[in-house]
Structure 1
């Protein structure tokens, strides 16, 4: 449906699909369902986890993204809680902003908790929405960064 400027805005079905995409993305980490995580992603994506990891933004394949997360998080218990979802877009592209609290615990009971904002670039291809860009802005980190293998030491 067009807005006042004549641009195509997202339908309620698209908004629902994007909320579900963010939920699947977050739950995939906690379930250690790496196949499901990869299905949330475009074949290639831009990532910027510089606030958490101390690494520069980069472009990578979805399989590389998933392998990096699997190797860093497989041994940790995690719980990703998403809320305050803002969705903007038109046609087949958009941006989803989601506040997230990420709880992590290792076998020794040490924790690393992150409160952040994810900014997802999304696109609809062949009728399905996928994430093609991920930027994580960290507000609060609390705990032992050493338990997370993906953080630069």
Structure 2
């Protein structure tokens, strides 16, 4: 169980760091082939099931012009056999080339499953507490 807990913690950190490093291959490697997403609080888009490649491409297009820093903590992980749930309290700092910022305080809820001894993310729900700054700098927001 401790090995699984450690592997999930590393996976969640790698997921967040891949955005900041713009390492889209690493991001894709964190994800199951199909994932459920709900970013409706921030983006105004409905929840949907999509391929990992589509998810990564949407994030790449929305964030390619921004510097980001995803900081997570208060992590809760519940493991049940080959399935797990995790909650991560997160602040996402964003800045464009002009110095304009958008910072989002949120809670990520992840669904995970174990495949061939490796954990993958198969669900991502973002619950926004609040955002500060200019939403116009984030190409992924359609509200």
The verdict on a shared fold, with TM-score over 0.5 as the criterion, is yes
1:90 to partner: Cα distance: 1.1
Please point out which of 4, 7, 13 is paired with 1:14.
4
Q: How many residues of Structure 1 are paired with residues of Structure 2 in the alignment? A: 143
Larger of the two Rg values belongs to structure: 1
Query: Stretches of 4+ moved more than 4 A in 1?
Result: none
Please point out which of 111, 117, 142 is paired with 1:127.
117
C-alpha separation in 2, matches of 1:16 and 1:92: 15
CA RMSD of aligned residues (A): 0.5
**What runs of 5+ residues in structure 2 fail to find an aligned partner?**
none
Structure 2 counterpart SS, 1:66:
helix
Please point out which of 74, 81, 88 is paired with 1:84.
74
C-alpha separation in 1, matches of 2:59 and 2:35: 14
TM-score normalised to the size of structure 2? 0.99
Encode CA deviations 1:86-108: one digit per residue, 9 max, x unaligned: 00021110101000000000000
TM-score normalised to the size of structure 1? 0.92
1:115 to partner: Cα distance: 0.5
User: Is 1:137 equivalent to 2:127 in the alignment?
Assistant: yes
